[in-house]
Amino acid sequence: MQAIHNMISAALAAADPYKLTQTALADFDPGSEGRLWLVAVGKAAVTMAAGTHDRLGDRIRGGVIVSKEDSANLPDHMMHYQGGHPIPNEGSQAATQAIHVLLKQTKPADHVLCLISGGASALLTQPALTLTQWREVNKALISSGCTINEINHVRQHFDAVKGGGLLHWTTPAACTTYILSDVIGNNMAHIGSGPTVPTPRDVAKVEAILAEFNVMDHMSEDTRAAVQAHITWLHDQPPPPDYPAVTNHIIGDVQRSAEAAATAARAAGYKA
């Protein structure tokens, strides 16, 4: 039992959001001229934000933190919102609007630091459908058997802040994103649906995913009609405008935790 405990502890330590964020920030330079704004979204958002505050302190002008928790012990200038997970809710929409309001203050000399972790797909949302329809689509996708990569590919085409969409709000400031990955393979576009990862539009792939997994069969007639109307609309749209510059970094992932567990297993005499 002690060996199993050591393996679990090693895996968790390797994914510690506080320590990983603090380590990453050792190389972060927000510049000395402008203001620093913080956006943290995901199941690890509160801990990542705490690590950032403890290292950067008064450099942070303001921030919005979105997580599953109903409360968080954060400084007054960091607003905390509780969103819905794994299905977005009114809290997710309110939090996203708060981020939009915060980022309207950015100026060219400023810097936006984004902290993204698993769960951001549901916690950060500005859907093209009504919230009721969007919740239904998410439930259908999650129960369909799609991989997380396929689910998030579909989500990106129905949500303005996904697939790089958040960058349209961070501009004209520079943006740096630290990502804690829960997606095997670390495709950054699919971690939290890639809010700061510019992603090419591929409507045909959306249609293929919906068809292969019979996703539309699990929606009401009203929602199916809204989904189809949006897909038709997307086919008629020109390519999206160029995205502002951004630097994305993965600071922790599933692989690192698996390797840490394997190392602990070998130390206990197991073949791993």
pLDDT score at 150: 97
Q: Residues in the chain with pLDDT < 70?
A: none
70: exposed, middle or buried (C-beta count within 10 Å: 0-12, 13-18, 19+)?
exposed
Q: What is the pLDDT of residue 30?
A: 87
Residue 86, preceding peptide bond in cis (omega within 30° of 0): yes
Which amino acid would we find at residue 262?
Answer: A
pLDDT of residue 240: 83
Q: What is the pLDDT of residue 41?
A: 98
User: Where does residue 218 fall: left (phi above 0), alpha (psi -120 to 50 degrees), or beta otherwise?
Assistant: alpha
Q: How buried is 238 (Cβ within 10 angstroms: 0-12 exposed, 13-18 middle, 19+ buried)? A: exposed
Beta bridge partners of 178: 115, 249
Give residue 33's pLDDT.
Answer: 83
Structure tokens belonging to residue 159: 């949500």
Reported as type and span, the H/E element at residue 247 is: strand 247-252
Q: Per residue in 124-143, is it b (16+ CB within 10 Å) or e — as a string?
A: bbbbbbeeebbbbbbebbbe
Q: What is the pLDDT of residues 68-121, one digit of tens each?
A: 999 888 998 999 999 999 999 999 999 999 999 999 999 999 999 999 999 999
Phi-psi region of 232 (alpha: psi -120 to 50; beta: other; left: phi over 0): alpha
Which ranges in the chain belong to alpha helices (H)?
A: 2-14, 17-25, 45-56, 90-103, 120-123, 131-142, 148-156, 167-170, 203-212, 221-235, 254-267
pTM: 0.94
Q: What's the pLDDT score for residue 58? A: 85
